C-alpha cells in the first residue's frame, strides 16, 4: 500500500497552458521508469492551474522522485512556464482503494 504521496500545484503563465500540458504529458514515461513511484497523475484543475499527484510505498521512493528527472525538468522549465514556484506538499496516505487490493469482508461468501 502507498503510504506516502506528493501533491504539487502548478500555475501556468498566461499563454503557456498548452506548453505546460505537453510538458506534463511528456513526463509520464519518466514516472513509469521510477521504481519507487507507485502511481503518478498529472491533472488540470482550472484553465491555468494544474497538479501532479503521486504515491510511494516509502519515503525513499518519494525522496528519489523529488530528486529525479521529473522534478529537475520541472524546476528547470519552471521559470519559462510557471507563474510561481511549484507548491509541493508531502502527504501521508491514511487509506486508499486501488485495483487488486480490495479487502475481503469477513463472513461474506458467494453462492
| 69-81 and 59-66 helices, crossing angle to 10° | 40
Asked if residue 10 lies in contact with residue 50, where contact means CB atoms within 8 angstroms, the answer is yes
Number of domains in the chain: 1
Q: Is residue 100 part of a domain?
A: no
- Count, in order, helices (H) and strands (E) of the chain: 4, 4
Q: What is the pTM assigned to this prediction?
A: 0.85
Q: What is the pLDDT of residue 39?
A: 96
CATH number at residue 25: 3.30.70.100
Q: Is residue 14 part of a domain?
A: yes
Check whether 108 has a pLDDT greater than 80.
Answer: no
Cell 506538499 identifies what position? 89
> Residue 58 is placed in which grid cell?
516509502
Q: What is the pLDDT of residue 111?
A: 47
Cell 520541472 identifies what position? 74
Q: Is residue 34 part of a domain?
A: yes
Q: What tens digit of pLDDT does each residue of 48-104 get?
A: 999 999 999 999 999 999 999 999 988 888 889 999 999 999 999 999 988 876 665
SS3 103: coil
Q: Is residue 107 part of a domain?
A: no
Asked if residue 45 lies in contact with residue 51, where contact means CB atoms within 8 angstroms, the answer is yes
Amino acid at each position: 500500500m502507498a503510504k506516502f504521496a506528493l501533491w504539487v500545484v502548478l500555475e501556468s503563465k498566461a499563454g503557456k497552458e498548452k506548453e505546460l500540458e505537453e510538458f506534463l504529458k511528456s513526463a509520464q514515461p519518466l514516472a513509469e521508469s521510477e521504481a519507487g513511484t507507485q502511481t503518478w497523475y498529472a491533472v488540470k484543475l482550472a484553465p491555468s492551474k494544474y497538479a501532479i499527484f503521486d504515491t510511494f510505498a516509502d519515503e525513499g521512493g518519494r525522496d528519489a522522485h523529488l530528486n529525479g528527472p521529473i522534478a529537475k525538468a520541472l524546476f528547470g522549465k519552471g521559470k519559462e512556464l510557471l507563474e510561481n514556484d511549484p507548491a509541493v506538499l508531502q502527504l501521508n496516505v491514511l487509506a486508499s482503494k486501488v485495483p487488486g487490493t480490495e479487502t475481503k469482508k469477513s463472513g461474506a461468501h458467494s453462492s
